Amino acid sequence: MMSEPPIRFTRGVPAVESFPTTQLAECAVTVLAEQGRIVLQYGQAGGFPLLREIVAREVGVDSGRAIIGNGSLQLLDLYARLLVSPGQVVYVEQPSYDRALTVLRRGGARLRGFPLAEDGPDVDAIEQCLKQGERPVLFYIIPDFQNPSGVVLSLQKRQRLASLAREYEFWIVEDIPYRRLRYRGEEPPTLFSLAPERTILLSSYSKLISPGLRVGYTIAPQPLVNELARMAEDTYINASYLNQAIVALFIGKGWLEPQITRLKALYEPRLDATLNALTNYMSDLATWFKTEGGFFVGVTLKGTVDAGALLKLAQEANLLLTDGRSFFADGSGGNFIRLPFCALTPEEIEIGIARLANVVRKAMK
Amino acid sequence: MMSEPPIRFTRGVPAVESFPTTQLAECAVTVLAEQGRIVLQYGQAGGFPLLREIVAREVGVDSGRAIIGNGSLQLLDLYARLLVSPGQVVYVEQPSYDRALTVLRRGGARLRGFPLAEDGPDVDAIEQCLKQGERPVLFYIIPDFQNPSGVVLSLQKRQRLASLAREYEFWIVEDIPYRRLRYRGEEPPTLFSLAPERTILLSSYSKLISPGLRVGYTIAPQPLVNELARMAEDTYINASYLNQAIVALFIGKGWLEPQITRLKALYEPRLDATLNALTNYMSDLATWFKTEGGFFVGVTLKGTVDAGALLKLAQEANLLLTDGRSFFADGSGGNFIRLPFCALTPEEIEIGIARLANVVRKAMK
B237 touches chain A (CB under 8 A): yes
What's the CA gap between B39 and A2, in Å, rounded? 30
A273-285 pLDDT per residue, tens: 999 999 999 999 9
Residue in chain A closest to B80 (alpha carbons) equals A235
Instruction: For A158-179, give the DSSP string.
Output: HHHHHHHHHHHT-EEEEE-TTT
Q: What percent of chain B has pLDDT over 70?
A: 99
B25 touches chain A (CB under 8 A): yes
A32 touches chain B (CB under 8 A): yes
Cα distance from A238 to chain B (closest Cα, Å)? Answer: 8
pLDDT of A1 reads: 44
**Chain A / chain B CB contacts < 8 angstroms:** 149
Interface test with B, best of A206, A235, A244 (most B CBs within 10 A): A235
What's the angle, vertex CA B304, arms to CA B298 and CA B307, rounded to 5?
70
Q: Do A210 and B40 touch (CB under 8 A)?
A: yes
User: Which of B16, B213, B241 lies nearest to residue A212, judging by beta carbons?
Assistant: B241
Note which residues in 251-310 of chain B have CB less than 8 A from chain A: none
10 Å CB burial of residue A224 (0-12, 13-18, 19+) is middle
A241 touches chain B (CB under 8 A): yes
Q: Do B70 and A16 touch (CB under 8 A)?
A: no
Residue B2, pLDDT > 80, answer no
pLDDT of B1 reads: 44
Residue in chain A closest to B239 (alpha carbons) equals A214
Q: Do B42 and A239 touch (CB under 8 A)?
A: no
pLDDT of B150 reads: 98
Q: Do A41 and B240 touch (CB under 8 A)?
A: no
Mean pLDDT value of segment B20-36: 98
B86 touches chain A (CB under 8 A): no
Q: For residue A235, which residues of chain B lie inside 8 Å, CB to CB?
A: 73-74, 77, 103
What's the CA gap between B222 and B211, in Å, rounded? 27
Interface test with B, best of A11, A41, A81, A342 (most B CBs within 10 A): A41
pLDDT of B239 reads: 98
Contact of A347 with A271, CB cutoff 8 Å? no
Residue in chain A closest to B237 (alpha carbons) equals A73
What's the CA gap between B338 and B150, in Å, rounded? 9
Domains and CATH numbers, chain A: 7-18+258-364 (3.90.1150.10), 21-252 (3.40.640.10)
Contact of A46 with A66, CB cutoff 8 Å? yes
Cα distance from A270 to chain B (closest Cα, Å)? Answer: 19
pLDDT of B365 reads: 78
Q: For residue A71, which residues of chain B lie inside 8 Å, CB to CB?
A: 236-237
User: Which of A13, A25, A211 lies nearest to residue B29, judging by beta carbons?
Assistant: A25
> Out of A203-212, B278-287, B302-311, which region has the weakest mean confidence (pLDDT)?
B302-311
Residue B82, pLDDT > 60, answer yes
Whole-model pTM: value is 0.97
Q: Give every residue of chain A whose pLDDT is below 70, as ranges.
A: 1-3
Radius of gyration of chain A (CA): 21
B290-299 pLDDT per residue, tens: 999 999 999 9
What's the CA gap between B43 and B29, in Å, rounded? 19
pLDDT of A5 reads: 82
Cα distance from A332 to chain B (closest Cα, Å)? Answer: 21
What's the CA gap between B19 and A355, in Å, rounded? 53
Q: Do A214 and B236 touch (CB under 8 A)?
A: yes
B212-249 pLDDT per residue, tens: 999 999 999 999 999 999 999 999 999 999 999 999 99
Q: What percent of chain B has pLDDT over 90?
A: 97
Parallel, antiparallel or unpaired: strands B286-288 and B110-117:
unpaired
Q: Do B242 and A33 touch (CB under 8 A)?
A: no
